[in-house]
Amino acid sequence: MKQKEMSYLLKILSIFTILACLVFMFVALPFLAQSYLNATQASSLYWPFLVISWLGLAPIIVLAILAWGIFTEIGSDNSFCEKNAARLRLMSYLSAFCVVVWIAGVVFIVLSGIIAVGIILSFTVALAIMLVLAIVCACLSHLTVKAAFIKQENDLTV
């Protein structure tokens, strides 16, 4: 697969990610929250659950937008640049923010005293995924900075 082709494919996937997050946040999540929380007599958790979920999912949309910039650089044959390293660093911070949100959500539900195992499990899975993403983005940011420096040195010697 050529770089331009890969760039377009990654951008399409980024668009689908944004659309999926929006549909999940504003269509599926309210419906699921209503049905699950009513079944467990925990209807008081409806709005806190939605707010915590939205706070945890909104940065994913920002991550997809930042990834768009990386995909543009890939299409321009400029993968290893300072801009991409900065984007990856910001993506790591956003992912870490999500981890904090999901931890706060789990703590909130546990402290509320309502047994909502499904929600706690969902938040914990989201927490684990975002933690891995934060670590990967931080590592890739570091490697991209090093690669950009090496690329810049090689460009100067040619």
pLDDT at 46: 84
Q: What is the DSSP letter of 25?
A: I
pLDDT at 20: 95
pLDDT at 47: 86
Q: Are 101 and 52 in contact (CB under 8 A)?
A: yes
Closest by CA position to 10, among listed 86, 60, 81, 69: 69
- Structure confidence by residue, pLDDT tens digits, 41-96: 777 788 888 898 899 999 999 999 999 999 999 999 999 999 999 999 999 999 99
Q: What is the DSSP letter of 79?
A: -
Give the count of beta carbons closer than 10 Å to the beta carbon of residue 144.
Answer: 23
Which residues contact residue 122 at a Cβ distance below 8 angstroms, ignoring those fewer than 6 apart?
A: none
Binned at pLDDT 50, 70 and 90, residue 158 comes out as low
pLDDT at 32: 83
Mark out the alpha helices in the chain (DSSP H runs).
Answer: 3-23, 29-39, 46-75, 82-112, 117-157
**How confident is the model over 128-149, as a mean pLDDT?**
96
What is the chain's mean pLDDT, rounded?
91
Q: What is the DSSP letter of 115?
A: -
